[in-house]
Amino acid sequence: MSMRLFGAALILGLLATLAPAHGPTPQKIEASTAIAAPPQKVWAVLGDFGGIGGWHPAVVTSEGSGGTANGATRAVTLKRGGVLRESLDEYDAGRMTYSYRLSEPDLAALPVSSYSATIAVTPDGAGSRVAWFGRFYRGDTGNEPPEELNDAAGRAAMKAYFETGLAGLKAKVEGGS
């Protein structure tokens, strides 16, 4: 009798290891661009945490509060709809970088439930390189998300948002507008 129980327990244990994983896994996105301008000129535009609306083409308006202090916030209204409410985690003007996170998800803005991101300017020959890194979770964190809220949708939306932003920043700095 005890061998039967042992055998049943063994089979159940093996079956449990074959079960699909639960919940989402963190996703990562990174994008970068070269800008034909010195890092200080790029940082003069990029370093204003609340000023993303001045260079990101997908942004209708952005309102910042708290400047560059940790905990500063911004509300970014997107052309596609929705508002990204973000807070500043770390700001380092000397290294020309800052990190921030999504405070409240808005699936109309981006199909992600949370994210954190870092953007940085570094010298690149006679110009600059701007790198934007993000880590996020898909919009629906359940085991069977709908297609518009799955990992692929989150990756595509975040990638488009970063790349469009970098193209806008490049145009703003190089065009001088």
The verdict on residue 9 lying in a domain is no
CATH number at residue 51: 3.30.530.20
pLDDT at 150: 85
User: What proportion of the chain, given as a percentage, has pLDDT over 90?
Assistant: 75
Cα separation, 70 vs 97, in Å, equals: 13
Is residue 15 assigned to a domain? no
Residue 167 domain-assigned (yes or no): yes
Residue 18 scores a pLDDT above 70: no
β-pair partners for 160: none
Q: Which residue has the higher pLDDT, 93 or 147?
A: 93
pLDDT band at 177 (very low <50, low <70, confident <90, very high): low
**Residue 45 belongs to a domain:** yes
Give residue for tokens 């500043």.
Answer: 88
Q: Where are the beta strands (DSSP E) in the chain?
A: 27-35, 59-65, 73-78, 83-92, 97-104, 112-124, 127-138
Task: Single out the residue of 65, 50, 64, 59 nearest to residue 77, CA to CA.
Answer: 59
pLDDT band at 149; cut points 50, 70, 90: confident
17 within domain boundaries:
no
Number of domains into which the chain is organized? 1
> Does residue 6 sit within a domain?
no
Query: Average pLDDT for residues 70-93, to the nearest whole number?
Result: 96
The answer as to whether 65 is a domain residue is yes
8 Å CB contact between 42 and 148: no
Q: What is the mean pLDDT of residues 165-176?
A: 95
In a domain, 97, yes or no: yes
Chain-centre distance for alpha carbon 8: 46
- Residue 23 pLDDT > 70: no
Q: Looking at the predicted structure, is the pLDDT value of residue 1 above 60?
A: no
Task: Domain of residue 90: give its range.
Answer: 25-175
Share of the chain above pLDDT 70, in %: 86
**Cβ-count burial of 36 within 10 angstroms (0-12 exposed, 13-18 middle, 19+ buried)?**
middle
CA 35 to chain centroid, in Å, comes to 21
Starting at the edge strand found earlier in the chain, the sheet holding 59-65 runs 27-35, 127-138, 112-124, 97-104, 83-92, 73-78, 59-65
Checking if the pLDDT of 14 tops 90, the result is: no
Show Cβ contacts of residue 91 under 8 Å, excluding neighbours closer than 6 positions.
Answer: 49, 68, 69, 70, 72, 98
